[in-house]
Amino acid sequence: MEKLLEILKELEPDVDYDTCENLVDGRYFDSLTILTLISEIEDNFDVEIPTVEIIPENFNSAQKIWNLITKLQEED
């Protein structure tokens, strides 16, 4: 989770990732930010995020992003 928070803070440093639960719905992340985040996650966590998983619900909070990463790692 620590590495994920580092990545998120590099992308959008002004967001409180401990409490924010609407990163996509609240428009903290735009489509370019999400694409960059996906690339960083795939590179740093050795997972591939399927297109069907790229939905706002999976990217609205740091915890939900972490849950997605964990799930993908377990499926490998």
Digit-coded pLDDT (tens) for 43-76? 999 999 999 999 999 999 999 999 999 999 999 7
| pTM score | 0.95
pLDDT the model gives residue 76: 77
Digit-coded pLDDT (tens) for 11-36? 999 999 999 999 999 999 999 999 99
Single-letter amino acid code for the residue at 46: D
How far is it, in rounded angstroms, from Cα 20 to Cα 51? 24
Q: Where are the beta strands (DSSP E) in 1-76?
A: none
Q: Residue 53 in contact with residue 75, Cβ under 8 Å?
A: no
Single-letter amino acid code for the residue at 41: I
All structural domains of the chain, each given as residue ranges with its CATH number in brackets, are: 2-75 (1.10.1200.10)
pLDDT the model gives residue 29: 96
Q: Is 15 exposed, middle or buried (0-12, 13-18, 19+ CB in 10 A)?
A: middle
